[in-house]
Amino acid sequence: MSTILVTGGAGYIGSHTVLELLTAGHRVVVVDNLDNSSLESIRRVEALTGKRVDVHLLDLLDRTGLDLIFAKYRIDAVIHFAGLKAVGESTQQPLRYYHNNLTSTLHLLEAMKLAGCKTLVFSSSATVYGDPERLPIIEDQALRTTNPYGATKLWIEGITADLAKAESGWNLVMLRYFNPVGAHESGRIGEDPAGIPNNLMPFIMQVAVGRREVLSVYGNDWPTPDGTGVRDYIHVVDLAQGHVAAIDKALGGALPGWTAINLGTGNGQSVLDMVKGASKAVGRELPYRFSPRRPGDIAACYCDPAKAQRLLGWKANLGVDRMCADHWRWQKNNPQGYAQE
Ligand code: UD1
């Protein structure tokens, strides 16, 4: 049994990963500043697993507070989710994004180094491929970003790569997620975005539950089979299990130095495919209308997941029907997210 520090553990992907870590027998310590998340998610994870999580309300900009966490526990490895993640907002508030995401990660790496904890799994993103030069995307293809949020992911990848070059003993794993959707099958935890959702699936589900009127489909003139954008949607439970696999391999010494790994299904789904899947799960046709392309969007993005299979022994198992059914169960049972309780 290892002790894993999870930053941002109360968030969407964080809470699902905490659940899978507990189920796999790990002990979990969460630090979160609750900027865009709720403690209720952790309370529910505890209820679902029958296990306890130590939660510390802490902002990673507080370096002293972070050192106290490493002094209190013998942390074997860290999973770093905490960070600001809204693309549009990042273009309006670049300094806030760079300061928060980069400084917090530097603090974390410094605190880890001081404590002698050298195993980190980082929440990176397919956004580091920008408009991909070819499909399916493999890990060693060109990296580029188009907005400050994406740039913080790319910079953190670069900082950690430099660290692995300079010092021995680190196990630094960058997990590049494609498009996480869905929820735990219990319907007790799920995605709870603040304000108007930026991402497709939460928007569709808020239409389904009556919080929004109609989905705007951003463009039907993309060079894709049905003209709408194509993405590699991955069930958040598959994604969470990918983190457990990465932690176990890294702690076992199988991922020395610095490694970047795509976590996706390898399948591309269009916006209309997802609307269809969601309508099936909800049991009625969900309304949508075509609107102009969203600035900064790309036509298609999906990965080659072979490296994850090879290095982690992991692959995604759950398809679009499960993604939609599970996301809908969560949204139906919690129309206002965690706020209702
Ligand atoms: C977006 C971010 C990406 C980030 C990821 C996190 C942008 C440009 N990219 O990816 O950097 O890592 O979220 O999950 O914001 N769509 C609609 N109507 C909507 C919302 C989305 O048609 O109301 C379409 C989009 O045009 C796209 C697809 O649905 O084709 C997926 O969009 P979204 O869920 O926002 O994810 P990405 O754009 O892939």
Is residue 220 lining ligand 1, measured as CB closer than 6 Å?
Answer: no
d(CA 55, CA 7): 10
Is residue 125 lining ligand 1, measured as CB closer than 6 Å?
Answer: yes
Tokens of 228: 């709408």
Tell me, yes or no, if 149 is annotated catalytic.
yes
Q: What are phi and psi of 11, to 5 degrees?
A: -80, -170
The answer to the question of residue 225 being in a domain is no
Does 341 score more than 60 pLDDT? no
Is residue 13 lining ligand 1, measured as CB closer than 6 Å?
Answer: no
How far does the centroid of ligand 1 lie from the alpha carbon of residue 296, in Å?
10
Q: In the prediction, which pLDDT does 93 show?
A: 98
How far does the centroid of ligand 1 lie from the alpha carbon of residue 200, in Å?
6
Is residue 190 lining ligand 1, measured as CB closer than 6 Å?
Answer: no
How far does the centroid of ligand 1 lie from the alpha carbon of residue 218, in Å?
9
d(CA 264, CA 283): 27
The answer to the question of residue 221 being in a domain is no
| Half-sphere exposure (Cβ direction) of 86: Cα atoms closer than 13 Å | 13
Tokens of 170: 């680190």
Other CB atoms within 10 A of residue 34 CB:
14
Does 228 score more than 70 pLDDT? yes
Q: In the prediction, which pLDDT does 120 show?
A: 99
| Residues spanned by the domain of 130 | 3-181+233-267+302-317
Closest by CA to 85, choosing from 99, 101, 104, is 101
| pLDDT tens-digit series, residues 67-108 | 999 999 999 999 999 999 999 999 999 999 999 999 999 999
Q: Which helix (H) or strand (E) holds 124?
A: strand 119-125
Taking each helix axis as running N to C, give the angle between helix 320-333 and helix 271-282, from 0 to 180 degrees, rounded to the nearest 10: 50
Residue type, 39: L
Is residue 146 lining ligand 1, measured as CB closer than 6 Å?
Answer: no
| Mean local confidence (pLDDT), 107-134 | 97
Q: How high does pLDDT run on average in the chain?
A: 97
| pLDDT tens-digit series, residues 259-307 | 999 999 999 999 999 999 999 999 999 999 999 999 999 999 999 999 9
- Residue closest via CA to ligand 1's atom 33 equals 199
Cα R_g (the chain), whole angstroms:
19
The contacts of residue 245 (CB under 8 Å, 6+ apart) are 312, 313, 314
Taking each helix axis as running N to C, give the angle between helix 39-49 and helix 12-23, from 0 to 180 degrees, rounded to the nearest 10: 20
Distances (CA, A) of 20 to 14, 16, 49, 318: 10, 6, 9, 15
Is residue 105 lining ligand 1, measured as CB closer than 6 Å?
Answer: no
pTM of the complete model beyond 0.95: yes
The contacts of residue 89 (CB under 8 Å, 6+ apart) are 97, 149
d(CA 313, CA 242): 9
Is residue 203 lining ligand 1, measured as CB closer than 6 Å?
Answer: yes
| pLDDT tens-digit series, residues 24-74 | 999 999 999 999 999 999 999 999 999 999 999 999 999 999 999 999 999
Q: In the prediction, which pLDDT does 74 show?
A: 98
| pLDDT tens-digit series, residues 140-149 | 999 999 899 9
Domain count, the chain: 1
The answer to the question of residue 328 being in a domain is no
CA angle 196, 198, 204 (to 5 degrees): 80
How far does the centroid of ligand 1 lie from the alpha carbon of residue 229, in Å?
9
Residue type, 31: V
- Exposure b/e, 283-319, CB count within 10 A at least 16 = b: eeebebeeeeeeeeeebbbbbbbebbeebbebbbebe
DSSP 54: E
Name the residue with higher pLDDT: 158 or 339: 158
119: CATH: 3.40.50.720
Binned at pLDDT 50, 70 and 90, residue 173 comes out as very high
Is residue 296 lining ligand 1, measured as CB closer than 6 Å?
Answer: yes
Q: What are phi and psi of 235, to 5 degrees?
A: -65, 135
Q: In the prediction, which pLDDT does 325 show?
A: 98
The answer to the question of residue 83 being in a domain is yes
Catalytic residue among 12, 97, 129, 149: 149
Is residue 177 lining ligand 1, measured as CB closer than 6 Å?
Answer: no
How far does the centroid of ligand 1 lie from the alpha carbon of residue 34, in Å?
23
Does 251 score more than 90 pLDDT? yes
The contacts of residue 200 (CB under 8 Å, 6+ apart) are 179, 181, 231, 271, 274
Counting atoms of ligand 1 from 1, which one is nearest the CA of 274? 29
Counting atoms of ligand 1 from 1, which one is nearest the CA of 297? 8
d(CA 9, CA 303): 26
How far does the centroid of ligand 1 lie from the alpha carbon of residue 198, in Å?
7
Task: Judge contact between 244 and 13, C-beta under 8 A.
Answer: no
d(CA 49, CA 337): 20
Binned at pLDDT 50, 70 and 90, residue 340 comes out as low
Collapsing DSSP to helix, strand or coil, 251 comes out as helix
Q: In the prediction, which pLDDT does 148 show?
A: 97
Of 149, 235, 294, best ligand 1 pocket probe by most atoms within 8 Å of the beta carbon:
294
Of 297, 301, 302, 320, best ligand 1 pocket probe by most atoms within 8 Å of the beta carbon:
297
Counting atoms of ligand 1 from 1, which one is nearest the CA of 229? 30
- Residue closest via CA to ligand 1's atom 17 equals 217
Of 228, 271, 302, best ligand 1 pocket probe by most atoms within 8 Å of the beta carbon:
271
Q: In the prediction, which pLDDT does 259 show?
A: 98
Distances (CA, A) of 27 to 20, 47, 52, 116, 238: 11, 15, 8, 18, 20
Task: Judge contact between 56 and 10, C-beta under 8 A.
Answer: no
| Mean local confidence (pLDDT), 248-265 | 98
